[in-house]
Structure 1
Amino acid sequence: MLNMTWEFKLKPTVEQVAEIERTLSVCRKVWNYALAERKDWLNSRKSPVNACSLHREYILPADQPFPNYVKQAKALTQAKQQIPELKSVNAQMLQQTLRQLEVAWEAWLLKRAGLPRFKNQARMRSFVFPQMLRNPISDQGIKLPQLGWVKVRWSRDIPDICLIKQARVVRKASGYFVLLSLQADVDIPEVPFQGHPTGIDVGLEYFLSTSDGLQVKRPRFFNPLHRKLQLLQRRLKTKQKGSANRSKLLQKIARVHQRIADTRKDWHFKLAHQLCDRADALFVEDLDFRIMAKGMLGKHTLDAGLGQFTNQILPWVCFKRDVYYAKVDPRGTSQECPDCGAEVKKDLSVRISHCLECGSIKPRDIAAAQVICTRGQRGIENACGVEVTGSSVLNSSQLALKQEIFGAIRGISSHTVRLAG
């Protein structure tokens, strides 16, 4: 089963824009009310009996169950009969809002993310239609529940074998977009290891260094527009909250941030295709970039977008281009000699790897990339029990199937293609 999400820009009318904004407002109220219920229940279990607050205290019955998704969805059905505003919005859309809150709450309990926050008008930016109407696509646009036919700027043709499972309407600084979740009922085998392998070491001095000797300097996406952002945000201090001038200025700031993000994503895709042109198998360190983003170099780490490149864009491009992709253990890759395997201890200030055992002298990042490439091949050999130098290819029927599916994709820009979920 192949799942993809494609992004297209909408061209709604004035009435449709008003309906989208009203829907976002209702979803925001449902999110805030449901989150307040959960926080009230949690706060009612925090304070001991002999240490109640003098200002205010939550009083809930001791046997009242936690308001999870099932209970809140049931309460939403009852509230729709009493509140006309809720009845005017698609019921499944509001249920999806509660489901997103449930996912965010579980992520907080597992310490994977922070506590969900209340949303103002600017923070609620999307809603989803979990079920689409029959034949929702035409040359004029797309037919969405509650909105009707909306004009779309079709930047690519949707393959006939793909079904549209759901649609998400997103408000961005440059306009409104729709994310279509496509599903093809086909089984595409994983790309096998084959051909020339290459190890990749990522960092901040060089965005990446390969085992073949290629080193790419880290581009500063944020620096060219940093001065403009400073001037806009300095003017923001003098604007009154809730005024029209403040709203216009916030829109300008959001467009600058979106331009930075689009430039970064475009550069990542071009670099991923360049790497796939030079190798048949790519190995990358399995790093948690969230830890790097919390250090004193966090601003530079987020500006480089290392996680977006290694976890999202590069795997997708490798899968589309029939290039094997795998991650290896990152421990000690820069403390090992790539030629003899001896331990070469050095701190971050040492940028040259000099092995005293075999006399090898190489740049630190290139040596680490060669170690990554060796570990990746060794891992395949241990897992499969075969020589890694052998070439494994798809059979003719599998190759024909994959070429049929991606034939409509490869001829079109893949800047907005990403794996669903």
Structure 2
Amino acid sequence: MFNLTYEFKLKPTKQQSQIFDEWLEVTRRVYNYALAERKDWYKSRSCQLNSCSLRSCYIISADATRPTYGSQCKSLTAAKKKNPNLKKVQSQVLQQTLKRVETAFTLLWERNTGFPRFKKKGRMRSFVFPQMKGNRLQPGMVKLPVIGWVRFRQSRNIPEDGVIKQARIVKRVSGWYVMLTIQWNADIPSPMPHGEPLGIDLGLTSFVATSNGLLVKRPKFFGDAERKLRWLQKRVSRKPFGSKNRQKAQNKVAKLHEYIANCRKDWHRKLSHQLCDNAGMIFVEDLNLVGLSRGMLGKHCLDAGFGQFLGILEQTCVHRGVYFQKVDARKTSQICPNCLTETGKKTLAERTHVCGNCGYTTDRDVAAAQVVTIRGLAAVGHTVKMLAEGKFIGIPLKQESSFL
């Protein structure tokens, strides 16, 4: 079995849009209540033994068990009898909201993502229907539980032999969207290593440098729009809190952010298809993306979107039948791809690789991409006789890409 998610823009009526907004507000309050219940329990267990807080103290019985997803679902069922607003929202949608709280605490313990925060008004932007049984899809229409049939812009065809497993409703500044997860009872074989290998090195000077000498400059999506964004944010700061004009100014800021994200994703998709045109195997570096985002050049790394590009490239490789694999990223710029000797560290200003052992000279990023190719071929069991045959020798020092 395999799943695919299709994203379409909804065209709801005015009444349906009001229902979506009401459901988002109810799910936000349920999320905050469940988070506050867990937070109070943890705070009550972290007080000091030899002193007491002068401000406030969380007093919860020592016999009270830790709030979990199951216990909070039972509390939610009891709360529905007292609060009529909870009855308006489908029960599974509220259960999925409680599961989001559980997932946030799981990530806190496993990945150290930080303590979950409360969501202010307008921060809850999606809710999920985990089950979509029966005939829920027609051309240009989807039937949501409780809400009914909602029109959407069908920009692509959906195969009829799939089964809709869940639907996520997302609110953006440009409108409402639905993400349909469809499942097929078939297994797609993973692409096997074949064809020409292609190593890829990611960077900020050249976004992509390939082992065959292709260099693609990094477009600065956020940097080019930063001046306009600063101007729009200044307009927001000058509007009174809670006013309609402040809300309009915030929408303009959100539209610009969405435009930047859409431009970046579209460019990543086009570049990924270009790289798959003449390659049977693609090898990339297994980068520490979290460390890059927190470094001195974190702002530029986030603007480049390395993680998003690698995810899109992997999806494109599966779709195009190209083998994709990540390799170790350590010391790729310190090893000569021609003789495999370590040349030492290079400063960021050194853009040319010159080997003191064999004299091999090429662009620094291209040399790193060639090392990535060698490691990828070794990982899939291929020999590296191409080094002796001189396949990497003779690549032009710099070849600018025609990709725009």
TM-score, length of structure 2 as denominator length: 0.93
1:181 aligns with 2:186: no
Give the corresponding residue for 1:217: 217
Measured in 1, the distance between the counterparts of 2:114 and 2:256 equals 26
Cα distance in 2 for residues equivalent to 1:324 and 1:120: 44
Letter in 1 for 2:118: F
The match for 2:313 is: 314
In the alignment, does 2:321 pair up with 1:343?
no
Read off the aligned partner of 2:184 and give its amino acid letter: A
CA distance, structure 1, for counterparts of residue 102 and residue 141 of structure 2: 33
8 Å Cα contact 2:377-2:383 kept in structure 1 = no
Q: Give, in whole Å, the separation in 1 of the partners of 2:86 and 2:322.
A: 49
Indicate the residue corresponding to 1:229 in structure 2: 229
Q: CA deviation at 1:377?
A: 0.4
Percent of residue pairs identical: 51
- In 2, the alpha carbon distance for the partners of 1:223 and 1:376 equals 34
Matched to 1:199, the amino acid is G
The equivalent residue for 1:3 is 3
- Contact map agreement 1:133 1:145 (CA 8 A) in 2: no
Partner of 2:13: 13
For 2:168, the equivalent position in structure 1 comes to 168
Report if aligned partners of 2:236, 2:246 keep a CA contact under 8 Å in 1.
yes
Read off the aligned partner of 1:341 and give its amino acid letter: L
- Which residue is equivalent to 2:102? 102
Distance across 2 between alignment mates of 1:106 and 1:320: 32
Is the CA contact 1:198–1:283 (under 8 Å) kept in the aligned structure 2?
yes
Is the CA contact (8 Å cut-off) linking 1:198 and 1:212 kept in structure 2? Answer: yes
Question: In 2, distance between residues paired with 1:262 and 1:112?
Answer: 29
Task: Classify the secondary structure of the residue corresponding to 1:110.
Answer: helix
Q: Which moved more, 1:62-71 or 1:209-218?
A: 62-71
Give 3-state SS (helix, strand or coil) of 2:221's partner: coil
**Pair 1:63-2:68 in alignment:** no
Report the alpha carbon displacement of residue 365 of structure 1 after superposing the two structures with TM.
0.5
Aligned partners of 2:346, 2:43: CA distance in 1, in Å? 47
Q: What does residue 243 of structure 1 align with? A: 243
Of structures 1 and 2, the one scoring higher in RCO (CA 8 A, sep 6+) is 1
Residue 341 of structure 2 aligns with an amino acid whose one-letter code is: A
Amino acid at match of 1:356: G
* Structure 1: tracts of 5 or more residues without a match: 390-421
| 1:367 to partner: Cα distance | 0.4
Give the 5 Å matches for 1:97-136. Answer: 97-136=97-136
Following superposition, the deviation at residue 49 of structure 1 comes to 3.0
Which moved further from structure 2: 131-140 or 218-227?
131-140
1:50 is displaced (CA, Å) by 2.4
* Superposed CA RMSD: 1.3
The C-alpha deviation readout for 1:333-381, integer Å capped at 9, x for no partner, is 1110101100111223322111111111111110000000000000111
Q: Distance in 2 between matches of 1:335 and 1:387?
A: 22
Contact 1:199 1:283 in 2 (8 A): yes
> Which has the higher mean CA deviation after the structures are superposed, 263-272 or 46-55?
46-55
For the 8 Å contact 2:9–2:176, the answer to whether it is kept is yes
